[in-house]
Amino acid sequence: MKKVFGFLLLMLVINVSCKKNFNDINSNPSLFTNASDGSLLNNVISSLQMGWNEQFYINNEILYKQTQSAALFKEAWGNSTIGTEEIWKNYYTTLPSIRELQLRLSKYTASPSVNNMNAIVKILLAYKTFKVTDLFGDIPYSDAGYGFQDASKLRPKFDSQQSIYLSLLDDLKWANDNIDPTALGEPYASFSSFDKLFFGDITMWQKFANSLRLRYAMRMYAKEPTISAQIIGDIITNNRPVLIGSDFSGVELEKAAIYPYLCSFKNESKIWSFREHKNLRLGSNLWHQLSSNDSTDGSGIFDARAYLFFDTNNNGKWIAYPQIPTGSTPAESGVPYESQRDYDASYNVKGSGCLFSPFNYFLIGDEDYVPDIMMTGAEVNFLKAEAYMRGIGVAQSESNASNEYLSGVQASLTFWQNTMSMTSLLHGSKFDTIVHVPSYLTLSYLETKVGFWNFSTFDEKLNLIYTQQLIDFFRQPAEAFALVRRAYGRLPREGDQLQYFRFQIPPSEVSYNATNYSSCYSSQGDYTTTKVWWMQ
């Protein structure tokens, strides 16, 4: 936590003055303790947006390269601490709002309506804490965020990642067990009117809670197999409500995501992070999961997501940048992320030096309809597929695994097709009028290439589940990073296996909370090569 009593107070005075829309201001922004419960909820939900520096210094400079979801043709921005400081600040300046909400709710007369409010707060706390601990490892948690309530906790102790995981999974179970979809009256009604994630739909919050339980129980399976299997079995065999991707009876495409157009803001950070960073291109590793050959005319492409995520080079050719470049690799430059592409007449102008395929400009340039994704139903399908394939918490069944896997592929493809069909640029250009995806690139065509029936061994099929999940995580770099670490050695990769396992604790925390930091990291070491707890 930063210098809490000064810095956090200033940030909270600024941040929690939001009203229902993220860009509105309260009439009384004096202190966060004077804000309404709903305003505090709004502050927490608005903090789910990805930060500008997180996208620039963490996602674009480090995670796309480390996961090989894309290629970095030049390392030019080595100061990752700018990004880690922002992630750390986002979490620890939001945490006091959560602790304040917890304190207030503890004073309410117990009721199903209050339980629903408590559940939402627990779910948000779990999501945000899981994200930070998975990036850093052991972090301050159990004593963190209480500085306004208890000055002795201004410098909170670090908790082990194991203890954090088990505590948060218990909280998520509480949320599932105590949510009452019929208890929608006051005080829940007023509180939920500030909900810009699910807009007061408490059933969706319950689905999100169980989906997160499934994700993180699977993530820690190597270290807590018994507890993990119990959680996964409970969710699947008891048909707990989860985010629906697809079950082939109808595509639901449920998700937890922040959509700018629904929250009255323009997502300017995404295009900024690419325009200023400039150095990401389609990499050969992911290219070989989307195309059966290297034909520059795109005739080998079998997955429509190639067109949804990437673009041709300045000469209209599909060329992936080699994941492991050699001395003979041509120098890359160009301007594929500059604003001249907002105009129809110059959309295809990417600069003569753009020799390799860049990211799709609509994907990164649209400010309204491409969401910041927390979790999708497609991921739930892939997690269930893995559970059935490995027999984790359920009877091993390749047939059930295949059904869930193909449902995940369908949900992912349909989600991204629907998302991109909505996108537009600043001057009104629509994706579907500018980018022409070949009509033969259907779900059925994709299935002929990636269905289980094309592979014979258990390992090949399990690895296929991980590969499709990695593709689906294209705009969730932190989740892709977690998957590559969890499924270590099972994902397609060029060159050496991953050796970058976590981010170092930000310098501000090391300086301010030195005693507790040293107590935690003096023995285990605070290195990027130090594995997080749940890794094998």
Both tokens assigned to 215: 């994700």
Q: What is the pLDDT of residues 376-396, one digit of tens each?
A: 999 999 999 999 999 999 999
Mean pLDDT computed over every residue of the chain: 93
Both tokens assigned to 5: 């009593």
- C-alpha dihedral (338, 342, 345, 346), degrees to nearest 10: 10
Closest CA to 44 of 123, 162, 103, 136: 123
CATH architecture label of 4-267+368-524: Alpha Horseshoe (1.25)
In this prediction, residue 18 carries a pLDDT of 38
Query: Where residue 298 falls among pLDDT bands split at 50, 70, 90?
Result: very high
Q: What is the pLDDT of residues 323-343, one digit of tens each?
A: 999 999 999 999 999 999 999
Residues above pLDDT 70, as percent of the chain: 93
In this prediction, residue 30 carries a pLDDT of 41
Query: Where residue 77 falls among pLDDT bands split at 50, 70, 90?
Result: confident
CA count, 13 A, side-chain hemisphere, 521: 25
| Cβ-based neighbours of 328, under 8 Å, separated by 6 or more | none
Both tokens assigned to 411: 């949900």
Closest CA to 210 of 253, 237, 241, 174: 241
> Which whole number is the average pLDDT over 24-42?
67
Task: Kindly tell me if the per-residue pLDDT of 16 is higher than 50.
Answer: no
In this prediction, residue 7 carries a pLDDT of 38
Task: Give the relative orientation of helices 377-390 and 225-237 as an angle to the nearest 10 degrees.
Answer: 120
Task: Kindly tell me if the per-residue pLDDT of 10 is higher than 80.
Answer: no
In this prediction, residue 2 carries a pLDDT of 39
Cα–Cα distance, 524 to 527 (Å, whole number) = 9
Task: Kindly tell me if the per-residue pLDDT of 24 is higher than 80.
Answer: no
Q: What is the pLDDT of residues 206-252, one digit of tens each?
A: 999 999 999 999 999 999 999 999 999 999 999 999 999 986 666 67
In this prediction, residue 380 carries a pLDDT of 98
Neighbouring-strand partners of residue 276? none
In this prediction, residue 23 carries a pLDDT of 40
Which has the higher per-residue pLDDT, 51 or 15?
51
Task: Kindly tell me if the per-residue pLDDT of 256 is higher than 50.
Answer: yes
In this prediction, residue 34 carries a pLDDT of 81
Ordered by start, the domain boundaries in the chain are 4-267+368-524, 268-365
In this prediction, residue 12 carries a pLDDT of 42
In this prediction, residue 252 carries a pLDDT of 74
Task: Kindly tell me if the per-residue pLDDT of 3 is higher than 50.
Answer: no
